[in-house]
C-alpha cells in the first residue's frame, strides 16, 4: 500500500511524484504507455533527435527554465534566418488596411482578456455572455476585414489546434490570458516570438525526472474507487493508496469509471482535445535560405497550416496539420499524406523540397493515451461551473490543463504537478 498513486507518467505526474517522494511519501506512478513523457516524445529523423510532441521554452516560463537548469539540460535559441512566407494574395494597400484592422481587433480581444480573473473564468463579469459565443462567431461578427480575421483564426488554429467555431470565447480568452496572450509579437503574425528548445529533446526532462521513481508501465487505469483508502484498478491489477493524483489529459478521464462532483464532470464532458499532426522532412541543406526564406510558412487555408525550420543536422522543415484536417489525417494513406506535405513545401520552396532525406510524422489525435494536445471547452461549460483543479475527497488533479498559468504548456504541467504534490503532502500530514 502506498501513500500516493500518481496516474500518468508525463511531465506533470513525474514532477508531482518526485516532490512527493522528496517529502517522504511512498509513491507509485501508473503509466499506460511503455515510456515516460506523455505528450513529450523524442523521435529520430535522419539520425537527429526531434520533438514529436512539446518542444518550446518561451519567455515567462520560469518553472520550465528552472527545471531544465536543475536537471542540467541545456537549451538553445531557435533563431530565424530570412523572412517568413505569409500566404496572402492581397495587394500592399489591402494588406496595410488588414494590418490596421488586425491591430484594432487584437486590442479589443486583449481588453476582454483583461476582464478574466486568473484561473477563475467563471467569475468574469460577463462570463455567461462570453461562454455562449464561440470564438469563430465572435470573429465573424466583430472583425469584418477578411485578412485580419483569417490571421487571428490562424493564430487560434495553431494555439488550440481546434476549429474556432467550436471553442467557447470564454475558454479562448481565459487560456490566452494565462499564456501571455499575443505576446511576444511578430512582425507579421501574433505569437511570432523567438523560442528555445532542449538539447536532446524535451522528453529528456521526463526521462531524468523518472530516475529512481517507482513506475508501473503498461497499466492503463480503468476505475477509481474512494473509501477509507483509494483503490485504483488497471487492466492488470488493483492498487491502493491514501491519496491519488490524476495527471492525465482530462479527455482521457472519460475512459475511467470514477465518481466526480458535478463541476468536474461538467468540465470532463465539455472538454475537447485539439488534433495535431507534426510532419518532419529532412534535407541535405537548408536550400530555402537561398531565396532569403526563414523556412516559415503561415497559411489561412489547407491541410498544412504552418511550417517552421528545425535547426540542426540535417536541416529540416516541420509542418503542422491542425484542427479538422488533423482529425481526418489518419483516414488517408501514408503516401497521400506525405505527398500533400511535400507538395506544399515544394510550392513555397522549390523542387528540392520534394525529395527529403527522411520523412517522419506523428498524429497526436490518434495517440490512444493523449487523444490530442491542447484542451479547450465548448460553450456553456466554464460559466456554468465546469472546473478542473480542486481536490475531490482523496482524489487530486494535476496535468497541464489544471494549471493557473501556462495551461497546455510544459510550464503549466510543472505548476500543476507541484500544486497537487503540496496538497497531498498537506493531507498526509
Note the pLDDT tens digit of each residue in 121-155. Answer: 999 999 999 999 999 999 999 998 888 898 899 99
Q: How far apart are CA 163 and CA 338, in angstroms?
A: 23
Q: How far apart are CA 48 and CA 358, in angstroms?
A: 10
Place 194 in a pLDDT band, splitting at 50, 70 and 90.
low
Residue 363 has pLDDT above 70, yes or no: yes
Beta carbons of 44 and 50 less than 8 angstroms apart: yes
Is the peptide bond prior to 184 cis by the omega test (within 30 degrees of 0)? Answer: yes
Place 35 in a pLDDT band, splitting at 50, 70 and 90.
very high
Beta carbons of 31 and 271 less than 8 angstroms apart: no
Average pLDDT of the segment spanning 286-314: 91
| Claim: this prediction has a pTM higher than 0.85 | yes
Q: How far apart are CA 164 and CA 162, in angstroms?
A: 6
Cell numbers 518561451 correspond to what residue? 58
Q: How far apart are CA 176 and CA 113, in angstroms?
A: 7
Burial 400-429, CB ≥16 within 10 A → b, else e: bbbbebbbbbbbbbbbbbbbbbebbbeeee
Q: Please report the pLDDT score of residue 115 as a whole number.
A: 96
* Average pLDDT for the chain: 92
Residue 191 has pLDDT above 80, yes or no: no
- Give Cα 3 to chain centroid, integer Å: 30
199 or 371, which is more confident?
A: 199
Is the peptide bond prior to 314 cis by the omega test (within 30 degrees of 0)? Answer: yes
Q: What percent of the chain has pLDDT over 90?
A: 81
Place 85 in a pLDDT band, splitting at 50, 70 and 90.
confident
- Give residue-wise pLDDT tens across range 206-265: 999 999 999 999 999 999 999 999 999 999 999 999 999 999 999 999 999 999 999 999
C-alpha cell at 422: 503540496
Average pLDDT of the segment spanning 65-73: 96
Place 93 in a pLDDT band, splitting at 50, 70 and 90.
very low
**Cα torsion angle, 353, 359, 365, 370, sign:** negative
Q: Please report the pLDDT score of residue 192 as a whole number.
A: 43
Place 88 in a pLDDT band, splitting at 50, 70 and 90.
low
Average pLDDT of the segment spanning 385-404: 97
Average pLDDT of the segment spanning 266-295: 95
Q: Please report the pLDDT score of residue 188 as a whole number.
A: 40
Q: Which residues pair with 358 in a beta bridge?
A: 282
Q: Please report the pLDDT score of residue 184 as a whole number.
A: 52
Give the single-character DSSP code of 10. B
Residues 6+ apart with CB under 8 A from 358: 45, 46, 280, 281, 282, 314
Amino acid at each position: 500500500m502506498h501513500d500516493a498513486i500518481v496516474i500518468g507518467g508525463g511531465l506533470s505526474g513525474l514532477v508531482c511524484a518526485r516532490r512527493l517522494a522528496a517529502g517522504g511519501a511512498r509513491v507509485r506512478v501508473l503509466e499506460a504507455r511503455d515510456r515516460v513523457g506523455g505528450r513529450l516524445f523524442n523521435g529520430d529523423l535522419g539520425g537527429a533527435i526531434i520533438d514529436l510532441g512539446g518542444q518550446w521554452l518561451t519567455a515567462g516560463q520560469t518553472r520550465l527554465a528552472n527545471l531544465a537548469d536543475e536537471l542540467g539540460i541545456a537549451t538553445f535559441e531557435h533563431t530565424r534566418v530570412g523572412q517568413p512566407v505569409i500566404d496572402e494574395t492581397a495587394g500592399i494597400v489591402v494588406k496595410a488596411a488588414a494590418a490596421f484592422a488586425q491591430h484594432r481587433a487584437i486590442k479589443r480581444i486583449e481588453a476582454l482578456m483583461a476582464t478574466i480573473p486568473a484561473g477563475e473564468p467563471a467569475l468574469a463579469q460577463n462570463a455567461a455572455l462570453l461562454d455562449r459565443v464561440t470564438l469563430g462567431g465572435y470573429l465573424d461578427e466583430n472583425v469584418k476585414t477578411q485578412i485580419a480575421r483569417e490571421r487571428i483564426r490562424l493564430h487560434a488554429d495553431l494555439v488550440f489546434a481546434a476549429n474556432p467555431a467550436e471553442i467557447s470565447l470564454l475558454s479562448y480568452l481565459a487560456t490566452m490570458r494565462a499564456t501571455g496572450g499575443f505576446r511576444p509579437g511578430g512582425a507579421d503574425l501574433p505569437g511570432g516570438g523567438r523560442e528555445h528548445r532542449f538539447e536532446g529533446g524535451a522528453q529528456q526532462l521526463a526521462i531524468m525526472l523518472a530516475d529512481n521513481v517507482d513506475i508501473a508501465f503498461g497499466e492503463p487505469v480503468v476505475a477509481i474507487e474512494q473509501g477509507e483508502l483509494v483503490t485504483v484498478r488497471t487492466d492488470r491489477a488493483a492498487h491502493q493508496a491514501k491519496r491519488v493524483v490524476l495527471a492525465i489529459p482530462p479527455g482521457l478521464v472519460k475512459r475511467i469509471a470514477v465518481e466526480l462532483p458535478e463541476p468536474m464532470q461538467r468540465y470532463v464532458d465539455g472538454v475537447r482535445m485539439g488534433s495535431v499532426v507534426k510532419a518532419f522532412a529532412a534535407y541535405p541543406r537548408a536550400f530555402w535560405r537561398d531565396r532569403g526564406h526563414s523556412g516559415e510558412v503561415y497559411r489561412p487555408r489547407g491541410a498544412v497550416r504552418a511550417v517552421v525550420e528545425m535547426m540542426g543536422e540535417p536541416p529540416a522543415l516541420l509542418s503542422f496539420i491542425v484542427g479538422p484536417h488533423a482529425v481526418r489525417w489518419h483516414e488517408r494513406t501514408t503516401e497521400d499524406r506525405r505527398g500533400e506535405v511535400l507538395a506544399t513545401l515544394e510550392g513555397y520552396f522549390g523542387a528540392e523540397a520534394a525529395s527529403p532525406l527522411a520523412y517522419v510524422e506523428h498524429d497526436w489525435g490518434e495517440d490512444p493515451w493523449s487523444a490530442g494536445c491542447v484542451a479547450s471547452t465548448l460553450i456553456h461549460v466554464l460559466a456554468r461551473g465546469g472546473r478542473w483543479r480542486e481536490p475531490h475527497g482523496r482524489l487530486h488533479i494535476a496535468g497541464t490543463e489544471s494549471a493557473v498559468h501556462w495551461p497546455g504548456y510544459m510550464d503549466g504541467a510543472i505548476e500543476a504537478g507541484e500544486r497537487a504534490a503540496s496538497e497531498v503532502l498537506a493531507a498526509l500530514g
